Every structure is written in structure tokens, then in C-alpha cells.
Structure 1
Amino acid sequence: MIVQACLNGARPSDFHPGLPLTPEAMAADALACIKAGAAELHIHPRNGDHAESLLAVDSTLAVVRAACPGTLVGVSTGAWIENDIEKTRACISNWSVLPDYASVNLSEPDAPRVMELLRSIGVGIEAGLATVADAERLVALADHQKVLRVLIEIEEQERSAAYALAEGIVAVLARAPVTRSILLHGFDATAWDFVRLARQRNYSTRIGLEDCRHMPDGTLAADNAALVAGAVAIFRRI
């Protein structure tokens, strides 16, 4: 059961004054988040124009790993990043600095092939599930147990509906059964609800500017490290 720091995601540059968009800024934030109690990192590398880029994985990971040696670092493989199936595959195949794991959204058409590709180069997989249909697609795969963990990520903003969706996904996983660990998180209005629910269920969770910019009391977070410290405090409560 861990708290993972998600530093930037696909957020635009004006989302928060402290959003890290360069390798150096991501590395500095990563180190601060580890000091605040995060066990792992999830980042979306950006190119020189600050756009998400799978081509920027090598250079970004090199800088982040130098700042946080020994810390597991993951990246996204979201189809929107390159917006081209063949280019996405080519970028992943050509990584020379490998992430420890990469998230794959089961809602995306090429997800099974991306998962196969990641396994072939020795990168762990976070299987991203946002809907019950995503969960059903995962468990239908013959190699669904060959993932590092299951990432339940709920975008629904109304709390009761979001909880119901998460329960539906968990039910599908339980029936399979899928025995991999679960990391549960929400976005924006539900981010802290799901941090608390993850603590209650003994799941891992994540927090950072990819998921929200406000603290549990509604105030604007100073930075990623403040968000991580808030989640760690929830996880440490008895």
C-alpha cells in the first residue's frame, strides 16, 4: 500500500503555477515528493514546447532518476500523446532509458498490443481501468495477470456515482479473479474521496497535480509535495 506522486499529467501550463513541465522541474518536484512520503512517481514527459511526448521519455527519466536514485518511475502511454498507433509503438520500442512501469488505458483500441510491447522490453504494466467495460476487457485477456498492478482511475465527478463505478470495476476483478494489487484514484472533485477510500480498502493511491490542485480543505495546494504530504497524512491515520 503506497502513495504514488503523479506530477503533471496532461494538464495545461496554466493549471497551476508549480506544474512541472521540464525534466529539471520534474526532477525537483519528484525529490520533494519522495521527501514528503511518496513511494513512487508517475510522470508525463514533455518536449521542448511542453507538449506531452513519448520521445521525451529517455531524457526526462535520466534527469529524474539522477535526482531520485532507487525510486520506481512510471510514465503514461496514452494514445492521445502521439495520436498515432504506429508512432506510439515506435516510440516505446526505441526507448533507451526504460521506465520501471507504464500505464496502459484499457479503453484504447491498441491497449493489448501496447501491453505486449511493454512486456517484450521488460517494462511493468499498470492496467488502467476507468469503466466496467475496461475491467471486462482486461479480464478477457489471457495474460491479464501479467501486470504490475491494476490502476482504477475514476473520472466521474459526482461522488456517489463515482463510488458505484469503482465498486462495479472491483466486482469484475473479483469475479475473474484478478490477484494483482490495486491503485485507486480519482480526479478533481473526487481526488481526496478516493484517497480516503483507498486507505479504508488497503489499496494504494496516487495524488499530485495530474489529479487535482486543491488540498482536502479546498485551498490551493502549494505544490505537488504538499498534495503528497496530505495523502500520506491520511494513510498514516489509525
Structure 2
Amino acid sequence: MIVQACINGARPFDYHPALPLTVEAMARDSAACVAAGAAEIHLHARAADGRESLAAVGETVRLVRRACPGTFVGVSTGAWIEGDRRRTRDLIAGWRVLPDYASVNLSEADAPAVIDLLHGMGVGVEAGLANVDDAKRLVTLPDCRRVLRILIEIEEQDISAGEAVVDGIAAVLGEAGLARPILLHGFDATVWHFVELARQRRWSTRVGLEDGCRRATGEVARDNAQLVTDAVRMMR
């Protein structure tokens, strides 16, 4: 059971004053999150203009690792980042500084090819499942048992509906005998509910400005580190 810090995601520039968008800001923020108890960092690399960019992954990972030696650093491979399958694969293949893991959304058409590419490069795969169909797709992949972990990502804002998705995904994984570590997280209004559910089920979780800016108390957090502090306290 770990708490992962998801420090920026695809959030827009004006989402929060402490949203880290430059490489230097991501490095500083990651170090603060680790000091607060985060076991890993998940980030969306950004170009100099602040836009998400797979081309920026190498330099970003290098500087974040320097700030957080020994900490796992992961990145997103979301299809929307580059908007083109071939360009996405080419940029990933061109990484010279490799992240420890990369998230791949099973809802995306090219997910199996991206997973195969990452495995061939020696990069761990965090298999992102947002619904039951994603889980059904994952368990059909020949290398599904090679994934580093399964990321259950609940976007539903209704808690009952979200829990039904969690249970459905867990059932598919159980029926397939796919026993991989699980990290569960919510989004915006459901962040803290799913942190608590992860604790109850002895799964890992994540918090950070990618998923929401409010603390467990409901007030707006000062920064990512404050969100991590709350989650670590809850998981303990």
C-alpha cells in the first residue's frame, strides 16, 4: 500500500496557483511530496510553453530523479498528448532517459501497441482502467501479467456509481486470475472517498492536483505536498 503523488496531470494553467508546469517546478514539487510521504511520483511532462509533451519526458524525469533520488517516477502516455498514434510511439521509442513506469489507458485504441513498446524498452506499465470494458480488454492481452500494476481510475462523481465500477473491474480481474498490485483513485468530488476505500481493501492510492485540489477537510490545499500529507495520514 503506497501513496503516489500525481502532481499536475492535464490540468489547465489556471487550475491552482501551485500547479507545477515547468521542469524546475516539477522537481521542487516532487521533492516536497516525497518529504511528505509519497512513495512515487506520477507526472505529465510539459514543453517550455506549458503544453503536455512526450518529447519533454526525458529531461523532466532526469531532473525529478535528481531532486528525488531513489524514488519511482512515472509519466502519462495519454493519446491526447500528441494526438497521433505514430508520433506517440516514435516519441516514446526516442526516450533516452526512461521513466520507471508509464500509465497506459486501456480505453485508447493503440493501448496494446504502446504497452508492447514500453515492455520492450524495459519500462513498467501502469494499466489504466476506467470501466469494466477496459478490464475485459486488459485480461485478453497476452502480456497482461507483465504489467507493473493496475490503475483503477474512477471518473464518476456519484459515489455509488463509482463503487459499482470498482466492483465490476475487480470481478473481471478476479475471474481472469490477474493478480497484480492495484492502485485506486477518484477525481474531484470522490478523491477522498476512494482513498478510504483503497485503505479498506489494502490497495495503493494517489492524490495530487491531477485528481483534485481539495483536502480531506474540504478546504483548498496549499499544494501537492499538503494533499499527500492528508492521504498518508489516512492510509496509516
* TM-score after normalising by structure 1: 0.99
Return the offset for 1:62. 1.1
Runs (4+) of structure 1 moved beyond 2 Å? Answer: none
1:185 corresponds to 2:181: no
In 2, the alpha carbon distance for the partners of 1:170 and 1:110 equals 23
SS in 1 for 2:152: strand
Return the offset for 1:59. 1.1
In 1, the alpha carbon distance for the partners of 2:227 and 2:139 equals 33
In 2, the alpha carbon distance for the partners of 1:217 and 1:74 equals 28
In 2, the alpha carbon distance for the partners of 1:189 and 1:177 equals 32
Q: Residue in 2 aligned with 1:66?
A: 66
1:165 corresponds to 2:151: no
Q: Aligned partner of 1:207: which letter?
A: V
Q: Which runs of 5+ in 2 are unaligned?
A: none
In 2, the alpha carbon distance for the partners of 1:68 and 1:233 equals 21
SS in 1 for 2:144: coil
1:20 corresponds to 2:20: yes
Return the offset for 1:75. 0.1
In 1, the alpha carbon distance for the partners of 2:214 and 2:114 equals 33
Provide the aligned length of Structure 1 versus Structure 2.
236
Q: Residue in 2 aligned with 1:106?
A: 106
SS in 2 for 1:97: coil
Return the offset for 1:235. 0.7
Q: Which runs of 5+ in 1 are unaligned?
A: none
1:148 corresponds to 2:118: no
Equivalent residues in 2 for 1:117-136, closer than 5 Å: 117-136=117-136
SS in 2 for 1:54: coil
Q: Aligned partner of 1:141: which letter?
A: L
Question: How many percent of aligned residue pairs carry the same amino acid?
Answer: 64
Q: CA RMSD in A?
A: 0.5
Return the offset for 1:136. 0.1
Q: Residue in 1 aligned with 2:91?
A: 91
In 2, the alpha carbon distance for the partners of 1:56 and 1:34 equals 22
In 2, the alpha carbon distance for the partners of 1:140 and 1:117 equals 17
Q: Residue in 2 aligned with 1:216?
A: 216
Return the offset for 1:48. 0.8
